[in-house]
Structure 1
């Protein structure tokens, strides 16, 4: 077989990624302009632009016309990395996503409890309070809820788990859409139980609280699906 060779644009894209890592550029950070970046990479502007287009398609860079080149939010992670939009049976998709969360999130909560600093626990408390505030104001709490769970993933210290954030956010959005946010008291209560366990650095209590939180969601989803099936049978 003929060995494959990377194009100059591919090599340049790798060089840009190395530049981002070496310079510890965070989400939203601006890269040098095209002229400077071309010089740094040792390539012409046409090759640089091809490399940038490739990195944009991989959700690593974003280009804002008239402003510049920036590091993306959730670098390298697409909004729908697993193509859920193409799965027709949304009820099964939500149920399977919840099942996946039950496999992962209780253990993540336990890890977070074993590693959380007082400052991290305090920040998590504020995020839980933000979810409760959204409920009280009658506002959508899906984003605040997802941020709460993402923070637990971050506190866990596992570098893989935070990369699952888009998956968890997708699952939360779809669950709320089906259950119509009818778990206010259960959500607030179990969120606070998770926070309390993490504040006390109690992994077992954190795991149990997260499991209970997801069980409430599973039971509410089951009831919503049963109601939907009943309504469809009467049509």
Structure 2
């Protein structure tokens, strides 16, 4: 209990933020310091209020802040729990609310073209032996989905996310949701002829990474993303032409 008291002892001395924000930050720090795992329940608001020497209303406001930050979740009738991936949200930049999805896809392709070849290069340098079979299995899964006519978007996202994981760079892994969002969106626009290219370039990327060949991995990923970008550019031009014809 003494350790817990020390964590919260100076909470009201900081006047640069609201009391609720201070409480929220300290609760978040406890989650980090005490390695409270995903799915574990926090003390109830009565206990937290007593420990922090603040009112229950302040505790409720602090919890709301942490829910908004995707650090906690409230389960009705059960209590407050740490979420699976604290602090992470699926659409951190609000892409779901962008009206022009085709232009957004083009912009994201520009980002991917600069970032993902380097990610593949790094993965080829750092992949561990026990990860190579998994990468090949994910590549096979994408091919199977495409050849069977199923939606391959989720499998495609998983493949690219695993390439990032093989870099063993925690920052790259965390920014991948931005990349995988563009992948899921792009599969909706993908031309049939590009599906075969997806299979081919995915295998080129996979084998280059598994062979620990950084340059080949870079070149293969660059080719893959470039083909995707060219295809979505065609879709955008067609869409713009249709809009002009409609206006005329």
Structure 1 length as normaliser, TM-score? 0.85
SS of alignment partner, residue 63 of structure 1: strand
Partner of residue 204 from structure 1, selected from 215, 237, 241: 215
Tell me which residue corresponds to 2:155.
144
SS of alignment partner, residue 74 of structure 2: strand
Distance 1:188 1:41 in 2: 57
Tell me which residue corresponds to 1:31.
41
Distance 2:213 2:84 in 1: 32
Change (3 A) 1:234 1:213: same
The answer to whether the 8 Å contact 1:12/1:51 transfers is yes
Alignment of 1:1-235 (within 5 A): 4-26=15-37, 28-34=38-44, 38=48, 42-43=52-53, 45-179=56-190, 183-235=194-246
Judge which range, 186-195 or 73-82, deviates more.
Answer: 73-82
The answer to whether the 8 Å contact 1:38/1:48 transfers is yes
Structure 1 residue 137: deviation in Å?
3.1
SS of alignment partner, residue 188 of structure 1: helix
Could you report, residue by residue, the CA deviation over 1:112-150 in whole angstroms, capped at 9, with x for unpaired residues? 111110112222222222222222332222122112111
Distance 1:171 1:221 in 2: 11
Q: What is the number of residues matched between the two proteins?
A: 232
Gaps of 5+ in 2: 1-13
Gaps of 5+ in 1: none
The answer to whether the 8 Å contact 2:42/2:82 transfers is no
Distance 2:229 2:100 in 1: 17
Structure 1 residue 206: deviation in Å?
1.0
Structure 2 length as normaliser, TM-score? 0.81
SS of alignment partner, residue 197 of structure 1: helix
